[in-house]
Amino acid sequence: MANVTAPLTVRDAAASPRTARQHIRFAFYRVLPEWRRRSAAERAADREEVAALVREIGEREAVLIRPYSLVGTRGDADFMLWLVSERLDDLHEFSARLNRTRLAQYLESPYSYFSMTKRSMYVDKHAHPNQEGRSNRLVISPTGRRYLFVYPFVKTRSWYRLPQEERQRQMSEHIAMGHRYPGVKINTTYSFGLDDQEFVVAFESDSVADFLDLVQEMRESEASTHTVRDVPSFTCIAADIDATLAALG
């Protein structure tokens, strides 16, 4: 399997701690029905051209590209590419080159979310029974779990006017609920002023049921009353780039 779907090794934050913040893009794509009318040979060539681009960019130092399929979970998106880099230029270059591929003539991008990593003012003060992937929130370190659940998130303006101690109290309750589901790992990224949302959250899990139960339980937390928007929600299935594109048809 290509390293665009493998856990970080050369870029492992534990092996070489870094403080640089990362740029994140969750890019969702839908293939137009017209593409499936192309011949099998043409479609195979189209898929390989995109796969080669993903593999090339993914080989770069400090760049992460993770492909996911949404075939069977969404009607308006077929696949998603999770792109991570310290350099915004890497995200720009990948998208510009993707636009020049043959498949791009048949692609729409119904959803795209841009964000960055930063240290959490709430989590750092909270004890964690499971430290996996939580020691440095400046670096995205995927776990390789089967599913990724992604959604944009906006809080009320009144939330930011609460005293910091009160926000910490409510978030501690919220975080404690999450700790009851150790098989679900959260990746929180921030979009203030960069995109239409304030946060983009991506949960990794091998169990769809665990994530559903976690979200239902968190609806009861006091902090959740300050939510303005947390949709659309995406259930993404991890696969290498060849399998992701093969599912298009």
**Interatomic CA distance for residues 75 and 179, integer angstroms:** 32
Q: How many CB atoms lie within 10 A of CB 138?
A: 16
Q: Is 151 a catalytic residue?
A: yes
Catalytic residue among 106, 111, 113, 151: 151
Query: For the chain, what is the HEC assignment?
Result: CCCCCCCCCCCCCCCCCCCCCCEEEEEEEEECHHHHHCCHHHHHHHHHHHHHHHHHHHCCCCEEEEEEECECCECCCCEEEEEEECCHHHHHHHHHHHHCCCHHHHEEEEEEEEEECCCCCCHHHCCCCCCCCCCCCCCCCCCCCCEEEEEEEEECHHHHHCCHHHHHHHHHHHHHHHHCCCCCEEEEEECCCCCCCCEEEEEEECCHHHHHHHHHHHCCCCHHHHEEECCCCEEEEECCHHHHHHCCC
> Residue type for 124, please?
D
Q: List residues with catalytic annotation.
A: 151
